[in-house]
Amino acid sequence: MKSIICGTCSRALDTFSDASGDRYVHPAHFTADHEPAPIEAPDGWRGHCDFCFSDKPVAVLPTNDFIVPHMPDHLSRGDWSACGMCAMLIEAGRWERLVKRAVRKSADIHGVPVDVAMLIVTTAMYEALRENIRGPLLPLAEEAGTDG
């Protein structure tokens, strides 16, 4: 299954489910200034690091779909991409450090200070992610795309 991304910002989209059905939404950790424009990811699409938002993912973490903690209507679908630094932290089992890195990067992007709520929500997200990992990190070939 190909990834569904936003045609405006090229971010991978989550699935949101409610009484009216399923629709695609920007991930809970990404604040967008536009509505999602769902399209299939083009061949060769590498996306962004799903942890720190870098534009240079080098690996994919095979992951089952899971419900996003604190947001029961959000479904994280597909594999997660990781940049070099985030991949090293994952391989080393440094999840607490990965949370701090992701929260700091997100706060910087959005121009807000890091707060306890951000740490709690991100920790819960990564705990759910860890429970749904279905294999080791897979390096991305230089020219290859990701499936999620």
Q: Which residues of the chain have pLDDT under 70?
A: 1-2, 28-29, 142-148
One-letter amino acid at 52 equals: C
**How confident is the model over 68-94, as pLDDT tens digits?**
898 877 888 888 999 999 999 999 999
Containing structural domain, residue 110: 4-139
Q: What is the pTM (predicted TM-score) of this model?
A: 0.76
Q: Is residue 40 part of a domain?
A: yes
What is the count of structural domains for the chain? 1
Q: How many CB atoms lie within 10 A of CB 9?
A: 15
In a domain, 68, yes or no: yes
Residue 53 lies in a domain: yes
SS3 state of residue 40: strand
Strands 66-67 and 74-76: antiparallel
pLDDT of residue 134: 96
Give domain status of residue 146, yes or no: no
Q: Is residue 109 part of a domain?
A: yes
